[in-house]
Amino acid sequence: MIKASSRRIVLVTSCIGGGGAERIVATMAAYWAHANHEVHVVTLRADESGPAYAFPPPVRIHRLQLVVEHNPVLDLRHIGRLWRLRRLLVSLRPAFVLSFIDKLNVAVLLSLSGTGIPVVATEHLVPWRNPLGPVWERLRATVYPWARAVISPTPEMSAWFKAHYSGTFRTMPYPGHHEVALGPQEDRSPVIFSAGRLAREKGYDLLLSAFAGVSEKRAGWRLEIAGEGPERGVLTEQIRAFGLQSRVCMPGHVSDIAARMRSAELFVLSSRQEAYPMVLCEAMAAGVAIIASDCPTGPRAMIDDGENGMLVPPDDAAALGSAIIELIDDAPRRRRLGAAALVRAPQLAAAHVMLEWDQLLLDAGSGPP
Per-residue model confidence (pLDDT) at position 361: 80
Q: Euclidean distance between the first and final Cα of the chain, in Å?
A: 19
The answer to whether 156 touches 137, Cβ cutoff 8 Å, is: no
Confidence bin at 2 (pLDDT 50/70/90): very low
Amino acid making up residue 235: L
Who's near 127: CB < 8 A, 6+ residues apart? 102, 157, 160, 161, 164
Whether the pLDDT of residue 358 is over 50: the answer is yes
DSSP bridge pairs for 67 = 45
- The answer on pLDDT for 185 being more than 80 is no
Q: Cβ neighbours of residue 48 under 8 Å, at least 6 residues apart?
A: 14, 15, 16, 17
3-state secondary structure the chain: CCCCCCCEEEEEECCCECCHHHHHHHHHHHHHHHCCCEEEEEEEECCCCCCECCCCCCCEEEEEEEECCCCCCCCCHHHHHHHHHHHHHHHHCCCEEEEECHHHHHHHHHHCCCCCCCEEEECCCCCCCCCCCHHHHHHHHHHHHHCCEEEECCHHHHHHHHHHCCCCEEECCCCECCCCCCCCCCCCEEEEEEECCCCHHHCHHHHHHHHHHHHHHCCCCEEEEECCCCCHHHHHHHHHHHCCCCCEEEEECCCCHHHHHHHEEEEEECCCCCCCCHHHHHHHHCCCEEEEECCCCCHHHHCCECCCEEEECCCCHHHHHHHHHHHHCCHHHHHHHHHHHHHHHHHHEHHHHHHHHHHHHHHCCCCCC
pLDDT of 193 > 90? The answer is yes
Please report the pLDDT score of residue 31 as a whole number: 93
Q: Which residues of 114-125 are buried (b: 16+ CB within 10 A; e: fewer)?
A: eeebbbbbbbbb
Share of residues in the chain with pLDDT > 90 (%): 71
Among 44-48, 83-87, 180-184, 331-335, the least confident range: 180-184
Above 80 in pLDDT, residue 137? yes
pLDDT at residue number 67: 72
Residue 95 has pLDDT above 60, yes or no: yes
Q: Would the pLDDT of 4 be above 90?
A: no
Res. 18: pLDDT tops 60 = yes
Mean pLDDT is lowest, of 5-9, 18-22, 98-102, for 18-22
User: Which domains does the chain carry?
Assistant: 8-176+350-363 (3.40.50.2000), 189-348 (3.40.50.2000)
**What are 280-303's pLDDT values in tens digits?**
999 999 999 999 999 988 899 899
Average pLDDT over residues 149-174: 95
How sure is the predictor about 183, in pLDDT bands with cuts at 50, 70 and 90?
low
Q: Categorize the per-residue pLDDT at 34 as very low, low, confident or very high, splitting at 50, 70 and 90.
A: very high
Instruction: Residue 82: count other Cβ atoms within 10 Å of its Cβ.
Output: 17
Torsion angle of C-alpha atoms 98, 102, 103, 104, degrees rounded to 10: -20
- Identify whether the C-beta of residue 56 lies closer than 8 Å to the C-beta of residue 30: yes
For range 328-351, the mean pLDDT: 92
- Across the range 136-163, mean pLDDT stands at 95
Dist. CA 192–CA 179, nearest whole Å: 21
Mean pLDDT score, 2-26: 82
Mean pLDDT of the chain: 90
Q: What pLDDT sits at residue 329?
A: 97
Q: What is the pLDDT of residue 50?
A: 58
How far is 157 from 154, CA to CA, in rounded Å?
Answer: 6
